Amino acid sequence: EPEVTQTPSHQVTQMGQEVILRCVPISNHLYFYWYRQILGQKVEFLVSFYNNEISEKSEIFDDQFSVERPDGSNFTLKIRSTKLEDSAMYFCASSVVRENEQFFGPGTRLTVL
């Protein structure tokens, strides 16, 4: 069964460093998303991406964040200068069309020291 994959599974970084989280969405999906989940809290939407551009973003997704689809398979989330409060589990998701169910990857745990 096709699935969303994410790498790395755990990333440890120093405050102020740049990190890139990588995702491979399901191959025939057209919409891509990033969510985050701070430990013990709910899952929060960050951004959605369609047709090589951001289609929706939350107030969390400020100038420190960017997304890119550098090739036909990868979808990345970059955090330019990490803060302690960026420590969270980051989930990538994808869907065939906008109204359809979103399939989540296993997540990348980001720890900012």
Give the chain as a 3 state SS string: CCCCEEECCEEEECCCCCEEEEEECCCCCCEEEEEEECCCCCEEEEEEEECCEEEEECCCCCCCEEEECCCCCCEEEEECCCCHHHCEEEEEEEECCCCCCCEECCCEEEEEC
Q: Which residue has the tokens 């289609």?
A: 55
Among 11, 13, 22, 104, binds another protein (CB under 8 A): 104
Which residues 42-61 are close enough to bind another protein by CB under 8 A? 42-45, 48, 50, 55-56, 58
Nearest CB to another protein, comparing residues 9 and 27:
9
Establish if 8 lies at the interface with another protein (CB under 8 A): no
CB of 107 to another protein, least distance (A): 5
Query: Contact region for another protein (CB under 8 A) — 14-22, 62-70, 78-86, 91-99?
Result: 91-99
The residues of the shown chain that bind another protein, judged by CB under 8 A, are 4, 31, 33, 35, 41-45, 48, 50, 55-56, 58, 91, 93, 98-99, 101-107
